[in-house]
Structure 1
Amino acid sequence: MIAVMLMSVALVAGLCVLAYTLAVYALPFMFAFASLRSPVLRLIVALVFAAPAAVAGYAR
C-alpha cells in the first residue's frame, strides 16, 4: 500500500514537471500569435491548433 502511495506521488510530480515543460515551450507561440496583425493569419494559426483537437475529439 505504501508503494502505491509513493508511486502516485511520483506520478503527480512527473505530471507537474511535464505540464511546466509544455507551458514553457508553448509560451513563445502564444506571444507570436498575439503579435500577428492580420486576421487571416490569426485564423490560419487558430485552425492549425484547433483542427487536431477537433479531430481527436470526434474520433472514436
Structure 2
Amino acid sequence: MVVHNQLSGNPEPSRADKEVTTKLIEAGNILEINLLDHLIIGNNQHFSFFSHGLIPK
C-alpha cells in the first residue's frame, strides 16, 4: 500500500500519480508483490486507486 498527501489539498490523482502507480504495479508483478492500494490524502478527504478500479484485484 502506498499513501501520500497532496500539497495542493486536492486528493484527485495527477497524471504523475497514475504513472507512478502503474510503474509500482509493474515492479510488484516482477517481484511477486501485489500493490493493494494507493491512497492520496488531501483536505480531510482521500482518493483510493483500488476503490476507483485503477488497481486490479
Q: TM-score, normalised by structure 2?
A: 0.30
- Larger Rg: 1 or 2? 1
User: Hey, which of these two has a bigger chunk of helix by percent?
Assistant: 1
Q: TM-score, normalised by structure 1?
A: 0.29
Greater RCO (CA < 8 Å, at least 6 residues apart): 2
